[in-house]
Amino acid sequence: MSELSDVRAEQQAADIEPDGAPQAKVAPDLAPTPRPPRRLNIIGRRNWFFALSLIVIVPGIVSMATRHFALGIDFAGGTELTATFPNHPSLAQVQAAVDAEGVNGSVISTGGDGYIIRYPPLSATQLTNIQADLKNRLGPTNVQQILTVGGTIAGETIALSLLAVVLASVAILLLLAVRFRNVPGGWRAGFQFGGSALAALLHDVFILTGIFSILGAVLHLRIGEIDAFFVSAVLTVVGFSVHDTIVVFDRIRENLRVSQRLSFEQVVNLSIMQTAARSIITSFTVVLVLTAILIAGGSTLQGLALALLIGIVSGTYSSIFNAAPLLVVWRRVQPLR
């Protein structure tokens, strides 16, 4: 790494002296309030942070295992008709009209005159008949959107999504292993870094999918339904979650090089403290944009924005409180050097 070859070692060493003054100055990045009396010991309290993650993940996994997901039309298959009725029928009236069609339709109100009506997959002819029928019973109908998804496509979407997550995970593990093989310990160290990042990444995926399972299948909220947008969100989280992790790991790599006197745990803790502010800020800018989409982006994009929001907050948490501490645990189990 030519970038690091000219690091002024004595200056860096001064920077990361465990009890030296410079670290204390890092804290004002986080909050410009008075300096905390001593550095947070994240590594020492790692079990607390692991436990905190499990408190969210375990119910999510239980929910996924027992209740699965509330599937949107992309995955469940079927026909979904989004329409507004200028004659202001009530939900009960719309439901009654749909029941009278006898094709097992169910109605969801989207507010105002808007309704979503879901059927099992309908043929083109059936769909034409049903639209005519709705018109007869409820008056003029403004059809905004009709989606019909057959079982084949639904199954394929699930398979392709899983494949994409697995491939992306493997690719990221390899990328990190290659990038971090130059720390002391070589390839084995590289895979420790890559593996810890991968674990943090899976943590984020489980948090996100678990929360959506709870939202959709336990609480029966429509925003918790998973669709193709949700898959995009998971994949984006997979890509973005390692951003913060890489920032921490990159600093660990740098600090390992310039400070031979500190223990591995001290180096990791120091690196977390040095980079926590920027990890939070980089995520914060994305959170700002997602909030804008959540507020102004309309109902179609709200599910996507919420999923990304959960994933990115989780990604920042996991890179600070899980990825690096995990690396320390791994080093203890499999010492290098």
Partner 1 sequence: MQLVLSWPVRLFVVGVLILSLFVDGAGYVYRIANHYPLTGQVPGLPPNFGGWQLYFHKGLDLAGGTHIDYQLTNFPAGQNRADVQQRTIQVINKRVNALNVSEPEIRGAGTNNDRITVDLAGVTADQAQKTIGAVSKLTYTKWVKDDKVQAGPQPGYKPALTGLTGDDISSATATIDQNGTSWVVNVQFTSAGASKFDNLTRDAVAACPGAGQDCPQRHLTIWLDFTQKDIDNWEDPSYVAKLSTRYDPGCLAAQGPDTVCGKFLTDPTTVEEIAGGQAQISGQFTQQSAQDLATGINSGSLPVDLVALDVTQVSATLGAESVKLSIAAGLLGLAIVVLFMIVYYRVPGFLASLALLFYAGAVLAVFKLVPVTLTLAGITGFILSVGMAVDANVLIFERFKEEVRAGRTITAAVDAAVRRAWPAIRDSNTSTIITCVILGFVGPSAVKGFAITLAIGVFASLVSSIIVTHNLLAIVMAGGSFRRAGLLGVDRVRTV
Which residues inside 279-308 make contact with partner 1, applying CB under 8 A? 281-282, 284-293, 295-298, 300-301, 304-305, 308
Closest by CA to 207, choosing from 48, 67, 304, 63, is 63
Using the contact rule CB under 8 A, the part of the chain among 43-51, 100-108, 139-147, 207-215 near partner 1 is 139-147
Q: Does 112 bind partner 1 (CB under 8 A)?
A: no
Nearer to partner 1, 96 or 278 (CB): 278
- HSE-CB at 329 with a 13 A cutoff on CA atoms is 16
Using the contact rule CB under 8 A, the part of the chain among 50-58, 60-68, 101-109, 230-238 near partner 1 is 230-238
Alpha helix segments (H runs only) across the chain: 2-5, 9-15, 21-24, 27-30, 46-66, 73-76, 91-101, 124-138, 151-179, 186-213, 228-258, 264-296, 299-318, 324-333
- HSE-CB at 14 with a 13 A cutoff on CA atoms is 4
Which residues ranging from 307 to 326 are in contact with partner 1 (CB under 8 A)? 308
Nearer to partner 1, 54 or 160 (CB): 160
Nearer to partner 1, 154 or 214 (CB): 154
Minimum CB separation from partner 1 for residue 303, in Å? 11
Minimum CB separation from partner 1 for residue 21, in Å? 10
Token pair of 110, please?
């989207």
**Please, what is the end-to-end C-alpha distance for the chain in angstroms?**
21
CB contact set of 258 (below 8 Å; sequence gap of 6+):
7, 9, 12, 13, 16
Nearer to partner 1, 109 or 145 (CB): 145
DSSP one-letter code for 319:
I
Minimum CB separation from partner 1 for residue 100, in Å? 22
Among all chains, which residue has been given the structure tokens 């007869």?
136
Q: Does 246 bind partner 1 (CB under 8 A)?
A: yes
Nearer to partner 1, 63 or 316 (CB): 316
Minimum CB separation from partner 1 for residue 294, in Å? 9
Which residues ranging from 169 to 208 are in contact with partner 1 (CB under 8 A)? 171-172, 175-176, 179
Minimum CB separation from partner 1 for residue 66, in Å? 26
Which residues ranging from 253 to 272 are in contact with partner 1 (CB under 8 A)? 254
Q: Does 164 bind partner 1 (CB under 8 A)?
A: yes
Vertex 242: Cα angle to 240 and 243 (nearest 5): 65
Spatial contact of 142 and 86, defined as CB atoms under 8 Å apart = yes
Minimum CB separation from partner 1 for residue 73, in Å? 9
- Phi first, then psi, for residue 106 (nearest 5°) are -125, 150
The residue from 56, 62, 103, 147 that contacts partner 1 (CB under 8 A) is 147
Distance from C-alpha of 130 to C-alpha of 332, rounded to nearest angstrom? 66
Minimum CB separation from partner 1 for residue 181, in Å? 13
Which residues ranging from 46 to 85 are in contact with partner 1 (CB under 8 A)? 74, 82
